Amino acid sequence: MLRLIRKILFILSLLLALTTAALWIRSYWWFDQAMWRRESLRADHRGYFTLALFAETARNHIKVGFVSKNTELREGDLVSGSYHHRLLSGTDSGFIFQTDSISLEPNLKQFLDVEMKGFAGFNVDSGARTFNPGQSFSHRAHWLYLTLPLWLPTFLLFMPALFQIRRSLKLRFRRRRGLCPNCGYDLYENQGTCPECGASTVQSPSSAA
């Protein structure tokens, strides 16, 4: 059972690491954004709430975070019409994915140079602000962003796979040299159980394969 769990974790970590490495390479030329957004009508119908969770990759960085907004109409106005219907039906909520070429959009390149700034590629930004105060509608926004270089998650995701590969090579080396697979003790003529650590030295058919 433990061996099966290790194999599953090895495959998952390797797939995730390869996917992150591909995003790392792609980020030099493309800006990708995945977002989940939900909008809901306020109980008094004088505004609505918005929650957005997102992940962006660009210029060797990944940026994850959330934004919440409380939009309020001016006194006497109510959310009505087609937008009122969309809020109730949830058609303005859901998953969004978009991509743009950085090389073809100089304005986007300059924007990302500012967005992805930070110390050694790391940056945390959080805050709250009221936009359009006193206008026909205003909203209070709260946000939290975390930016980090893509090499970090790629490295961390490769670690379990590298550990499993190292472990497999070490076990194979010890068996070929007549050593205990568990502690490396020289077994000489001992068969079945290691006299040093007590581990079984009989190779199972599954491990032999």
pLDDT digits (tens, 9 = 90+) for 115-170: 766 777 888 989 999 887 777 677 889 999 999 999 999 999 888 888 888 888 88
Q: Quick one: 84 and 36 in the same domain?
A: yes
pLDDT of residue 20: 93
Q: Is residue 181 part of a domain?
A: yes
Could you tell me how many helices (H) and strands (E) the chain has, helices first?
5, 6
Encoded tokens for 1: 């059972």
Q: Is residue 118 part of a domain?
A: yes
Task: For residue 191, give its domain range.
Answer: 177-209
| Chain-centre distance for alpha carbon 55 | 8
Q: Quick one: 61 and 112 in the same domain?
A: yes
Q: Quick one: 86 and 45 in the same domain?
A: yes
DSSP 8-state code for residue 190: -
- The mean of the pLDDT values for the chain is 79
pLDDT of residue 205: 43
Q: Quick one: 202 and 107 in the same domain?
A: no
Four-point Cα dihedral 20, 25, 28, 32, nearest 10: -40
Q: Is residue 163 part of a domain?
A: no
Q: Look at the chain and report how many structural domains it folds into.
A: 2
Encoded tokens for 107: 């304005």
pLDDT, tens digit, for every residue of 107-128? 777 667 767 667 778 889 899 9
pTM beyond 0.75: the answer is no
Q: Is residue 162 part of a domain?
A: no
- How many residues are recorded in the chain? 209
Q: Is residue 129 part of a domain?
A: yes
Cβ atoms 29, 103 nearer than 8 A? yes
pLDDT, tens digit, for every residue of 35-79? 998 887 777 767 778 899 999 998 888 999 999 988 877 655 555
Closest alpha carbon to 147 in 126, 121, 111: 121
Q: Is residue 189 part of a domain?
A: yes
